[in-house]
Amino acid sequence: MRTFLVLISLLLSGCSPIWKEQPYKVYYIDGTKRLGYSLGQGAYIGRLDEPINIKSNAQYISVYACPHKTCAFYYIDKIKDNKFAEHKEFVYGPYTKAQFAAIAKKLGLPTINSSVKTAI
């Protein structure tokens, strides 16, 4: 029975809903899921609240998020982002699906879908 519980615990921890790509990470604070820039030792600078779907490439992070219960598309320019930046400096959006598709094509953003959730 003990072995069974250990296996279940390992399985559940392997299915963790947290997305991360250094220095970015999805974390929870005060019951809110946030995508933030890690400063190390558990400190973060918030970038977007309530991310639903996230994909990234070398330069950008595309995010479908629902901050304040209003869902929209956003992107973060990772090249310009830094630990001293405010989120408004390098987080762009909100955009509609059509607006985001045009921007994604122009800039080479990773494409995301509003109806498909990634493991966040």
Long-range pairs, 75-82, Cβ under 8 A, ≥24: 75/100, 75/103, 75/104, 75/107, 75/109, 76/24, 76/47, 76/48, 78/24, 81/37, 81/47
| Amino acid in the structure at residue 55 | K
**According to DSSP H, which parts of the chain are helical?**
2-14, 87-90, 97-107
Q: What is the pLDDT along the chain (120 residues), one digit of tens a residue?
A: 444 333 344 333 334 457 999 999 999 999 999 999 999 998 999 999 999 999 999 999 999 999 999 999 999 999 999 988 877 889 999 999 999 999 999 999 999 988 655 445
Beta-carbon contacts of 56 under 8 Å, excluding residues fewer than 6 positions away, are 21, 24, 62, 78, 110
